[in-house]
Amino acid sequence: MAASCHYLLSSPFTSGLPLKTTRTTTTKTRPPPFPKAPIIIASSARPLRAAVIGGGPAGASAAEALALGGIETYLIERAPSGSKPCGGAIPLCMLSEFDLPSSLVDRRVTRMRVLSPSNRAADFGRSLRPHEHIPMLRREVLDAFLRRRATDAGARLLPGLFTSIRLPLSDSDPYLVHYTASPSTPGSLAGTPSALAVDVVIGADGANSRVARSISAGDYTTAIAFQERIRLPPAGMSRYEDLAEMYVGADVSPDFYAWVFPKCDHVAVGTGTSAAKPDIKRLQAAIRARAGPKIAGGEVIRVEAHPIPEHPRPRRVVGRAALVGDAAGYVTRCSGEGIYFAAKSGRMCGEAIVRAWKERGVVTEADLKTAYLRKWDEEYRGMFRFLDLLQQVFYGSNAGREALVELCADEYVQRMTFESYLYKRMARGDWRKDLGLAWRTIGSLVRAGVMGWEVDRLKGIGADSS
């Protein structure tokens, strides 16, 4: 630490214009070999230096975009061989947009079954075209692949725990990123506090983001998600060959849904809630009971839990530091989906930095706000708000959930839902069909309002507020 401060005082970088240095790179270059010392410094005639904290889909995608653009990129990840608790469902468009090989995909789901509080089932999938499916993968596989691609592009992976940032005192100061190196960090002493002087920082360190705290980005509320990975006997696994299940009901989640998602040799069974966090184990027991005989005889091979952000952070760009993925709060409330948005925001932010650097040789807060934040909000804010609204209408009561399942049986609803989910664009409807759908929605809600109370009464669930 003392050594790093000494470096800063004597660094030619501290006396430069706001990040204005001789621009040496306009095409992809590999950074110089990794130095032996724990403090990484660069010469004044150098490319822009960026630290990406967190090597999940957001951080790995940001690091890849930066490295491909010739930025000297450091990717700090505390657990490169770990696995993020996650259902692992991604939209189909992510495979092509992120050039993911099909070998990463464990299962191709063509039947998504939604089960209502009274166990009425609606099977999504009739409207799928022949090549369409929901890819299911394991996060340890996806994240390792994305990180490897980032390092192949020239980013340097620093296995270690990010601890804090010393913020710049002026526009021309670098950020000093502190971290504790893990044993596998090349050229460093494991457990030694290390520091990295960089020009820009991307916080991709998930829902408990320390980067967000370090830059005073403000708080957001989180839900909690709990998941068990259960290895089923062969007959049980073959049932889930191309099938995923979503269970709705106050018993399994008072505000979201529970799931059974298939993986290579196991199923992920989980639930999430923001309304009843202390009850998460009770809710998990309920989804296991609902899935019942379908998961009987299974062996629990992993139990995992993690917070899920519910809204974007109050500030996602502060100075030359930007938040992406869960750290920024990019998870849709209705579906708890965040993998695609993490990777997309990481890439978008990385590309915004590269563009500013190439075009003007300088990266400022205004660049990040315009080329990353504004672009993101233009593309996705409407979609997030719409999904928020759906969550409020359909997940707030068992009556709403019954209506949801009734609507899910509708072929037009299925087509529109899949279009939006698989391709991440608000599907363009036909106004006559939309009008018909509006009527059917009202009809379902009215019918379910009557039926939902009855179902609750009969099942003795009735704890929710419908």
Ligand X SMILES: Cc1cc2nc3c(=O)[nH]c(=O)nc-3n(C[C@H](O)[C@H](O)[C@H](O)COP(=O)(O)OP(=O)(O)OC[C@H]3O[C@@H](n4cnc5c(N)ncnc54)[C@H](O)[C@@H]3O)c2cc1C
**Binder among 203, 325, 329, 452 for ligand X (CB under 6 A):** 325
**135 lies in the binding site for ligand X (CB under 6 A):** no
**452 lies in the binding site for ligand X (CB under 6 A):** no
**150 lies in the binding site for ligand X (CB under 6 A):** no
Please identify which residue in the block is written with the tokens 């279009």. 419
Amino acid in the structure at residue 337: E
Please identify which residue in the block is written with the tokens 């090597």. 55
Give the span between the Cα atoms of 73 and 151, in whole angstroms: 9
Give the span between the Cα atoms of 418 and 170, in whole angstroms: 48
CB of 191 vs ligand X, minimal distance in Å: 14
Residues 383-442 that bind ligand X (CB under 6 A): none
CB-CB contact of 309 with 323 (8 Å): no
**312 lies in the binding site for ligand X (CB under 6 A):** no
CA geometry: angle 110, 111, 114, nearest 5 deg: 145
**Binder among 42, 52, 58, 212 for ligand X (CB under 6 A):** 58
Instruction: At 185, list the tokens.
Output: 């960090």
**Binder among 38, 57, 203, 452 for ligand X (CB under 6 A):** 57
CB-CB contact of 312 with 221 (8 Å): no
Virtual torsion, Cα 29, 33, 39, 40, nearest 10 deg = -10
CB of 162 vs ligand X, minimal distance in Å: 4
Give the span between the Cα atoms of 264 and 268, in whole angstroms: 10
Binding mask 289-308 for ligand X (x = CB under 6 A): -----------------x-x
**Residue with Cβ nearer ligand X (249 or 325):** 325
Binding segment for ligand X (CB under 6 A), chosen from 7-15, 103-111, 202-210, 400-408, is: 202-210
Binding mask 241-270 for ligand X (x = CB under 6 A): -----------------------------x
Within 86-178, residue ranges assigned H as helices are 93-97, 139-152
- String of DSSP letters for 51-94: EEE--SHHHHHHHHHHHHTT-EEEEEES-TT-------B--THH
CB-CB contact of 176 with 200 (8 Å): no
**31 lies in the binding site for ligand X (CB under 6 A):** no
CB of 30 vs ligand X, minimal distance in Å: 23
Residues 59-78 that bind ligand X (CB under 6 A): 59, 76-78
**Residue with Cβ nearer ligand X (308 or 371):** 308
**336 lies in the binding site for ligand X (CB under 6 A):** yes
**Binder among 31, 38, 47, 55 for ligand X (CB under 6 A):** 55
**Residue with Cβ nearer ligand X (25 or 83):** 83
Q: For residue 404, report the phi and psi dihedrals to the nearest 5 degrees.
A: -60, -45
CB of 216 vs ligand X, minimal distance in Å: 17
CB-CB contact of 205 with 215 (8 Å): no
**321 lies in the binding site for ligand X (CB under 6 A):** no
The sign one gets for the Cα dihedral 386, 388, 393, 395 is positive
**Residue with Cβ nearer ligand X (40 or 445):** 40
**194 lies in the binding site for ligand X (CB under 6 A):** no
**Residue with Cβ nearer ligand X (59 or 69):** 59
**56 lies in the binding site for ligand X (CB under 6 A):** yes
| CA-closest candidate to residue 347, choices 62, 50, 42, 20 | 62
* HEC sequence for 198-230: ECEEEECCCCCCHHHHHCCCCCCCEEEEEEEEE
Instruction: At 318, list the tokens.
Output: 């502060």
**Binder among 133, 149, 178, 210 for ligand X (CB under 6 A):** 210
CB of 198 vs ligand X, minimal distance in Å: 15
CA geometry: angle 245, 249, 251, nearest 5 deg: 110
**Binder among 222, 227, 444, 466 for ligand X (CB under 6 A):** 227
Instruction: At 338, list the tokens.
Output: 């965040």
CB of 59 vs ligand X, minimal distance in Å: 6
**Binder among 63, 71, 204, 422 for ligand X (CB under 6 A):** 204
Binding mask 77-106 for ligand X (x = CB under 6 A): xxx--x-xxxxxxx----------------
Q: For residue 362, report the phi and psi dihedrals to the nearest 5 degrees.
A: -155, 145
| CA-closest candidate to residue 47, choices 74, 18, 22, 11 | 22
CB of 140 vs ligand X, minimal distance in Å: 10
Give the span between the Cα atoms of 4 and 284, in whole angstroms: 48
**Binder among 165, 339, 373, 404 for ligand X (CB under 6 A):** 339
**331 lies in the binding site for ligand X (CB under 6 A):** yes
**Residue with Cβ nearer ligand X (280 or 445):** 280
Chain residue whose CB lies nearest ligand X: 338
Q: Which residues bind ligand X (CB under 6 A)?
A: 53-59, 76-79, 82, 84-90, 161-162, 204-206, 210, 225, 227, 270, 306, 308, 325-327, 331, 336-340, 342
